[in-house]
Structure 1
């Protein structure tokens, strides 16, 4: 595994996922992971797409929004794969 890239930690029985993002985006990717995880753990009626769209807007356009989205969606990917196993 390349140490210059950030990985999404293992979760829900799925291994970690390497991203194409460098360490400068680590906090943004982690925020995406945390946001998705918080949605899973909440009993909120807020739709998942709304959570993604609204939180994504809090980051500067471009790479920061994309890195947040990568963390968010990769965490959801892990959950979906974990459920299907």
Structure 2
């Protein structure tokens, strides 16, 4: 694994997932993972797409938003992959 890139930690029986972003984007990626995990743990009445869209807006446009989305969607991907096994 390239230590210059950020990985999403393993979850739900799925392995860790490498992102194409360096350490400078770590806070955005981590926030994406945390946001998705919070929704997965207690989905409530807020649709998943709304959670993604609204939190995404808190980051500057461009790579920062992309890194947040990667963290968010990769955690969802891990959950979907983990439940199909």
Give the TM-score band, short-chain normalised. Answer: over 0.9
Query: Structure 1 CA distance, aligned partners of 2:7 and 2:59?
Result: 20
Work out the number of aligned pairs and report it.
Answer: 85
Name the TM-score, length of structure 1 as normaliser.
0.98
Alpha-carbon separation, structure 1, partners of 2:40 and 2:83 = 13
Query: How big is the alpha-carbon RMSD for the aligned residues of Structure 1 and Structure 2?
Result: 0.6
TM (normalized to structure 2)? Answer: 0.98
Alignment of 1:1-85 (within 5 A): 1-85=1-85
Distance 1:35 1:43 in 2: 11
1:42 Cα offset (Å) = 1.1
Unaligned runs of 5+ residues in structure 2 are none
Q: Which runs of 4+ in 1 moved over 4 A?
A: none
The answer for unaligned runs of 5 or more in structure 1 is none
